[in-house]
Amino acid sequence: VARSALILGAMLHLAEITRLPLDVLEFGASAGLNLGFDAYRYTLGEGRVWGDDASPLTIDCAWRGSTPPL
């Protein structure tokens, strides 16, 4: 589910731009795990974090470029 960090970044940017609710559909081999991207905790380096502190899963990501609107 590490690629969920990419989905998170895209969704945060889209949500900021559109100010609309977003639905996610997945066609792939991750068994739907990427659909729950908003339930995970992310560390994006340099003290940047997003998500629930109580999440059972933390995804560490070496984020490059501008930080998505956390």
Which of 56, 26, 28 minimizes the C-alpha distance to 40?
Answer: 56
Those residues whose C-beta lies under 8 Å from the C-beta of residue 11, and which sit 6 or more positions away, are 22, 24, 37, 38
Q: Which strand ranges, in their side-by-side order, compose the sheet holding 41-43?
A: 49-50, 41-43, 58-60
pTM of the model: 0.77
Tens-digit pLDDT profile for residues 6-56: 888 888 999 999 999 988 887 776 777 888 888 999 998 888 899 999 999
Q: For position 42, what pLDDT does the model report?
A: 93
For residue 41, give the 3-state DSSP assignment. strand
